[in-house]
Amino acid sequence: MVFKHQHFHETPPEVEAEFPPSATLEGAVSDALASAGGIDASDVTVTAHGATVTLAGTVLQEREIARAGEVARGVAGVTDVRNEISAKGLAGF
């Protein structure tokens, strides 16, 4: 077997950390949403870009939208939350 040196066409290879900071932050927010009371976050996705977290998906009740934003803002490392969650169920319950 012959091993060749990798060529990157004069561009150094990009090395990603095994657990990039955005993935760590996404996991922390997801865990916080899963353990927070008053939210069914099973259809909510969390995406982090730097310290900004985007929440997307659906919840059953309108009040869960605000609660999810509060929980996400409370996670260490989060500086801004974009809350794009919508309610698919009954309002006011």
Domains of the chain, first to last? 21-87 (3.30.1340)
76 contacts: CB under 8 Å, gap ≥ 6: 28
CA 12 to chain centre: 29
Distance, in Å, from the CA atom of 66 to the CA atom of 26, rounded to the nearest integer, reads 18
pLDDT in tens, 26-74: 999 999 999 998 899 999 999 999 899 999 999 999 999 999 999 999 9
Question: Quick check: 68 and 41 in contact, CB under 8 A?
Answer: yes
**What is this structure's pTM?**
0.73
For 17-41, give the secondary structure using H, E and C.
Answer: CCCCHHHHHHHHHHHHHHHCCCCCH
Q: Decide if pLDDT at 92 tops 60.
A: no
Question: Quick check: 76 and 32 in contact, CB under 8 A?
Answer: no
Query: Looking at the DSSP assignment, which residues form a beta bridge with residue 81?
Result: 53
**Dihedral pair phi/psi, residue 27, rounded to 5°:** -65, -40
